[in-house]
Structure 1
């Protein structure tokens, strides 16, 4: 009896953690094998140890999340030809796997070997902070970057502390996406907002690229239009106010300029009077021809 109560209590916690997304996924056509990994809460001493080691203060919402569950993993598959193909994946690394993205230089590394810090040039950094877009993180000691999700090799979602000073504890953090070309894209200012985005996008492949100027791949867009049509349509309309970027905008007059035919002038239509006179002329002509015969 007690085991039943504990299982029901944990099921209630799991429903709150997943915001009820497991039931939604299970009721979708073709979706199967929805799995939510159960994890124990992280200990407070492990959180304090992480903060002391990395000289950073965890955001309050992320701290509360780790005190509820030490990480998050939810996966689901689709049925294709009677086989389950993995598709959706939602991951938040545990405290022990919340590792720095920029590791210190190894002792025996080559002295002239390039590093990520070489990608920081002044022109790029000054442009990223102009306008309404926040300034992009640095790959040097100015920023402290920690990996929240590896995104299945399609990039990295990172917890970023900017404007850091060596030896000083960093407190303000943001959530950024680092794509495969090592370009930064701002996502949210808080972990809670990012968590809701992850749940809303169902963990579909490359959903983080919706926050980039070029967007996901065509295949990822097909999956999104199939299992997430409402959100996909809203993002598509926001990216393109006209809403017709997917249409073929081919102009035949420009593409086939050398093959277009010259317009043929239309024949002048004859009036009834002229048609009658022409008929008379034809009749008289016929009579003249007959007379000659």
Structure 2
């Protein structure tokens, strides 16, 4: 059943991206068809790495030995690579490189840079380790923006690992949980169309502004700019009220300055009377 399901998913995905070639700006859709992997290759991988492939991933490899679909976009007069979906073949499903980070003597390894358990968040799943406690294999190189990995946790030396999850390792060597199974990750990858840095949507910092622009252009129905929610469990959006935004503000009336009252000096009444008689004389003239 899973073999038929993965075959249908690949065919549907291929037909969908054939249709996108007719959309404005999308061109050069490339789909690398690969023959199914042989069962002996899967058994050899399990014996070599002492890990049991999950049933869904095993059925995927028995349908196609890896997966690659890429597409470009025309930006003005320049062709820019945008979408890329990759699942490594069985031969490329190699352990995460454990070599030295630097080419200097006594340089630290990834295991030396591992974090302690007390620094991990208690509310999330237990993070993978670079030492013997975890066995990590690369599923997708993510064009250099990190790595999507198949992770076996709580491993015991000499015992075949059974349970695995899919995690995203960013360039700063921080782990971010993606899905509990390969099938869930495959569906997630199709949903995001292989857009640049789509895995960063599951990190606290999110994708870059340029990646957000691509997502808003080609994934407008499922794109969200900010994963954080307010108290009402709704996305924080910039809500614009035209009635308030374009309504003219009434200026408050300018207060009139009170002129200081003039206190009449001695003889003020006489001067007032003289002023009145002078005005009368002017009128008569």
TM-score, normalization by structure 1:
0.75
Q: Residues of 2 paired with 1:78 and 1:150: CA distance?
A: 21
**1:41 paired residue among 36, 41, 44:** 36
Secondary structure of the 2:83 match is strand
Q: Does 1:239 align with 2:228?
A: yes
Q: Residues of 2 paired with 1:74 and 1:203: CA distance?
A: 8
**1:126 paired residue among 118, 124, 144:** 118
Q: Does 1:171 align with 2:162?
A: yes
Q: Does 1:112 align with 2:106?
A: yes
Secondary structure of the 1:33 match is strand
Structure with greater Cα Rg = 2
Q: Residues of 1 paired with 2:8 and 2:207: CA distance?
A: 34
Q: Residues of 2 paired with 1:161 and 1:76: CA distance?
A: 32
Q: Which has the higher helix share?
A: 1
Q: Let me know the Cα RMSD of the aligned residues.
A: 3.0
TM-score, normalization by structure 2:
0.77
Q: Residues of 2 paired with 1:153 and 1:72: CA distance?
A: 18
Q: Does 1:150 align with 2:146?
A: no
Any conservation in 1 of the 2:139–2:148 contact (CA below 8 Å)?
Answer: yes
Q: Residues of 2 paired with 1:289 and 1:88: CA distance?
A: 96
Q: Residues of 2 paired with 1:81 and 1:213: CA distance?
A: 33
Alpha-carbon offset, residue 244 of structure 1: 3.8
Secondary structure of the 2:132 match is coil
Alpha-carbon offset, residue 13 of structure 1: 7.6
Any conservation in 2 of the 1:102–1:145 contact (CA below 8 Å)?
Answer: no
Output aligned runs, 1:81-100, within 5 Å. 81-100=76-95
Alpha-carbon offset, residue 69 of structure 1: 0.3
Count of equivalent residues: 244
Q: Does 1:267 align with 2:267?
A: no
Q: Does 1:212 align with 2:203?
A: yes
Q: Unaligned stretches of 5+ in structure 2?
A: 1-6, 240-251, 259-274
Alpha-carbon offset, residue 265 of structure 1: 9.1
Alpha-carbon offset, residue 27 of structure 1: 4.2
User: How has the CA–CA distance of structure 1 residues 268 and 29 changed in structure 2, closer, same or farther, with 3 Å as cutoff?
Assistant: same
Q: Unaligned stretches of 5+ in structure 1?
A: 1-10, 248-263, 271-285
